[in-house]
Amino acid sequence: MGDQVSKLKQLSSSDMEEQRFFQNQNQDYVDQAGSGSGSEERANEPLDEEGKVSASFQKKVQSKIKDLLQQMEEGLKTADPHDFSTYTGWTGIALLYLQLHRCSQESSHLQRALDYVKRTLRILNGRKVSFLCGDAGPLAVGAVVHHKLRNTEESQDCLNRLVLLQSSVLSDSDLSDELLYGRAGFLFALLYVNREMGEHTVEESTITQVVSAILDSGKSLSQDQKKTERCPLLYEWHRKQYLGAAHGLTGIFYMLLQVTPGLQVTPGLQGTPDLQGTPDLQGTPDLQVTPDLQVTPDLQGTPDLQGTPDLQVTPGLRVTPGLRVTPDLRVTPDLQVTPDLQGTPDLQGTPDLRVTPGLRVTPGLRVTPGLRVTPDLRVTPDLQPGARVPADVLSEFVRPSIDYVRHKKFRSGNFPSSLSNESDRLVQWCHGAPGEEKYLKEASDCSEVIWQRGFLRKGYGLCHGTAGNGFIFLSLYRRTKERKHLFRACKFAEWCLDYGTHGCRIPDRPYSLFEGMAGTVYFLSELENPEASCFPAFEL
């Protein structure tokens, strides 16, 4: 009897899986390394021979975007007039038009975004504070749209109202921490404004207080659940400890890591948390620094290139007295210095100091006397001086908690929707593999299950649809530049080009950003410049 029940459960589970996604019938990417075969080139369509999205496929995508936009605008005439949210309402449509303006630079798209912003700002209710489902989204998007249109007064008004929400974010003990409705969602709104309008538009102290509230909440629940050693930061929504991006741990952890942008360097550059040295910052052969390092106009120097307290390198990076550059420094053309840089013509250092792609120095990074840079130094994202999330907090709380989530992975590469759920069912952004994106190997494993089970019967949307699953491949391509990931993203886009023909479920808000057609258009638009793609309201 027990065996029969077990078989019935397996059959039921198999049937359920069949109902949740379509079998992927696509041939996977063919590695053409060392081969000149034209058949392999054709197999990798819609990529061209250089590994970029082909012009013919781009043309199809742009044509479909225009078609879907027309359908969307017509459908929105009957949408809920009071839904101002980013998730299913007017702010999401404004965000889509902001994206289209970013891609095309067409002023009409920016004006359309403004039309929807004006509509949303008239109907805010103050009941929720997140970017996706609360007032923070309309106010943040409103501030950005007005900023781009140079409506300074209106932009500042939106910004002031956004920051005022912080008091309830900090004081409301019943407020959740997750992305969709909670503190992480408010945190994203602040970070989004800083990305679009300038690094210090929202003061660092404001952001730090929100981060502290999220950390304190996570520590408290972990202690209550007696999981401090295994998972130092623990969060729940409606008394359930979810793991996914929308309601769960990965969404919160991901947002905490966004507060500490990754300091990326080229392979081979290694280092430890206890970076120590002598007062002289000394370069050695083969030290590689990337072109993203920019020097501000106030950088001044004497013939001996002595650092003073006013030596400025990117917003917030201060180099204190004692900085010396040794003879024979050679800098490649990728290093750009602004017009006001003053000094002698003989800027010299150690042999073969090369500036190469990959290093980003983030605001707030301070280099003090005693730092010695040696060959093969790699500074990792969670060990940054001057970060808003201190290195010890990242190493003692955030990182172990992420590892705890990693160990919940199924053999398939997918993740459960919550700690109490052992079912390997959901493969979508809000629950499952697409929300887990910390370590590159783990992300790659997640992408395999998404490639197999990511064409969803729920529809084409972002939250629980095929377009949302397609973003994982754009994220991986952006980080690795591996053609396979771009190819797979294009195959998910190709599926979306046949919008409405697969017999998928029709969502409740069929034209919205996160459930419907607007999200599909957003995903398709990212193929124009996949190197700069971002999942809306999540990635920065």
Higher pLDDT, 168 or 293: 168
Inform me whether the pLDDT recorded for 321 exceeds 80. no
Question: Where do we find the tokens 């729920």?
Answer: 458
More confident call, 329 vs 398: 398
**CA distance linking residue 194 with residue 482, whole number of Å:** 30
Q: How confident is the model at residue 59 (pLDDT cuts 50, 70, 90)?
A: very high
Mean pLDDT computed over 9-34 = 60
Query: Between residues 505 and 167, which one has the greater pLDDT?
Result: 167
pLDDT at residue 58, rounded to an integer: 96
Residue 84: pLDDT band by 50, 70, 90 thresholds? very high
What is the per-residue DSSP string for 400-465? HHHHHHHTT--TTS---SBTT-------SSSSSGGG--SSHHHHHHHHHHHHHH-SBTT-S-SSSS
* H helical segments located in 149-307: 152-164, 166-171, 183-197, 204-224, 249-259
Of the ranges 55-59, 256-260, 267-271, 366-370, which one carries the lowest mean pLDDT score?
267-271
What does the pLDDT average to over 296-300? 39
Average pLDDT over residues 164-183: 93
- pLDDT(63) > 90: yes
Residue at token pair 């998928």: 504
Q: What is the DSSP string of 245-274?
A: TTTSHHHHHHHHHHHS------TT----SS
Residues 122-147 have pLDDT tens digits of 999 888 899 999 999 999 999 999 99
Rg (alpha carbons) of the chain, rounded to whole number: 25
More confident residue, 290 or 50: 50
Average pLDDT score over residue span 61-65: 96
Domains of the chain by residue range: 40-78+454-540, 80-194, 268-380
- Coil vs helix vs strand at 237: strand
Model confidence at 201, pLDDT cuts 50, 70, 90, reads very high
Report the distance separating Cα 425 and Cα 435, nearest Å.
14
* Cα-Cα end-to-end distance for the chain: 54
Task: Tokens for 479, please give them.
Answer: 């980080």
* pLDDT for 262 beyond 50: no
Rounded to an integer, the average pLDDT of 361-384 is: 37
Q: Per the structure block, which two tokens stand in for 368?
A: 């003090």
Q: Give tens-digit pLDDT for 432-465.
A: 444 444 467 777 877 888 898 888 888 888 987 8
Please report the pLDDT score of residue 125 as a whole number: 87
Residues annotated as binding site for Zn(2+)? 430, 463-464
Q: What confidence tier does 206 reach under pLDDT thresholds 50, 70, 90?
A: very high
- At residue 359, the pLDDT reads 40
